[in-house]
A and B are shown apart, each in its own frame.
Chain A
Amino acid sequence: QQPVQSPQAVILREGEDAVINCSSSKALYSVHWYRQKHGEAPVFLMILLKGGEQKGHDKISASFNEKKQQSSLYLTASQLSYSGTYFCGTGQANAGKSTFGDGTTLTVKP
């Protein structure tokens, strides 16, 4: 069962903030986030393994609510380079696979 991402698309001006959500109907062992530019492979951003754990990378951070089986990706003071499609990947504790949401397309305009 693939995770569900929301919103499907976001349009921002430079400097604005955005939140992308990822939820699953199954108990999660891990949530990992990727950004994909058009015509390229997904690039890893960060992974969260414990409930309540928060990770950060520059002005991009994420949280993981294990009880709610949800994760959120926070992009603050967005830059033009943040444009792309963001995917969350999820894994269960008893499975060797990771499944992905349908992605959220983020467009940052000057």
Chain B
Amino acid sequence: NAGVTQTPKFQVLKTGQSMTLQCAQDMNHEYMSWYRQDPGMGLRLIHYSVGAGITDQGEVPNGYNVSRSTTEDFPLRLLSAAPSQTSVYFCASSPRRAYTQHFGDGTRLSIL
């Protein structure tokens, strides 16, 4: 079972570059979320989606965009990378509202 798949696993960017972190799930979950985790810290919600075509902001949305054109995919776009966005990014999906989160393995992003 694939579950939640994130690509790439590692990425190094220069300040000002843009990129898209990919997230795909094969469990037909309606709910998907993006979190960032800074070293030694907790998980901060960036954006989330309650279904295809519906997205909303989380706690730390600035500098990030999302879209949800299909149930399976929920990409996260960094518009203009900044060193403060260096972090580990986790995508998660859930079958129900406010329910168990199934996490991907994460993308480790460094911005120089």
Chain A: residues with CB nearer than 8 A to chain B? Answer: 2, 29-30, 32, 34, 40-44, 47, 87, 89-93, 95-103
B residues whose Cβ falls under 8 Å from a Cβ of A: 31, 33, 35, 41-45, 48-50, 56, 58-59, 90, 94, 97-106
| Contact B50–A44 (Cβ < 8 Å) | no
Which residue, B48, B56, B98, B99, has most C-beta atoms of chain A within 10 A? B98
Can you report 5 A-B residue pairs in the complex whose CB atoms are below 8 A from each other? Answer: A32-B99, A41-B90, A42-B103, A87-B42, A97-B98
The distance in angstroms between the C-alpha atoms of A47 and B45, with both chains bound, is: 19
Choose one: A40, A41, A93, A102; the contact of B42 (CB below 8 Å). Answer: A102
Q: How many contacting A-B pairs (Cβ < 8 A)?
A: 70
Given the known interface contacts A2-B42, A101-B42, the answer about A95 and B98 at a Cβ–Cβ threshold of 8 Å is yes
State the CA gap A47–B49 with chains docked (Å): 21
- Most B-side CB within 10 Å, residue of A32, A43, A99, A103: A99
